[in-house]
Amino acid sequence: MPVPKQRHTKSRRNKRRSHHALKKLNLIPCFKCGQPVLSHHACLNCGTYAGREVIDVLAELTKKEKKRKQKELREQEEKHTEEKGLSMEEMSKR
């Protein structure tokens, strides 16, 4: 089995490892509920992607859990729309 002739210095070792650092995730808020989501991924909280519902989040929940989840989603959506400001319909009314 081959053995290195000379020892590698600490600086050389560290230079090699400079690319091993973890990078920060690029999270953006979901347009519907405001939860942080990875770019180009569906929101796991409300099941939307690009403004359309692509995952039925309530499909496999029990009746009690569905009711709770629907209420939670409604509250999050209301909170998120309040943060955004006026919608187009509200702006046209004024």
- Domain, as residue range, for 89: 25-93
pTM, two decimals, is: 0.54
Q: Give me the number of domains the chain comprises.
A: 1
9 inside domain: no
Residue 65 lies inside a defined structural domain of this protein: yes
The answer as to whether 42 is a domain residue is: yes
Sequence-distant (≥ 6) Cβ neighbours of residue 38 within 8 angstroms? 25, 26, 27, 28
- Report if residue 20 sits inside a domain: no
> Residues for the chain: how many in total?
94
Q: Which tens digit of pLDDT belongs to each residue from 13-62?
A: 999 999 999 999 999 998 888 889 999 999 988 889 988 888 888 887 78
pLDDT of residue 85: 63
Give a yes or no: residue 60 inside a domain: yes
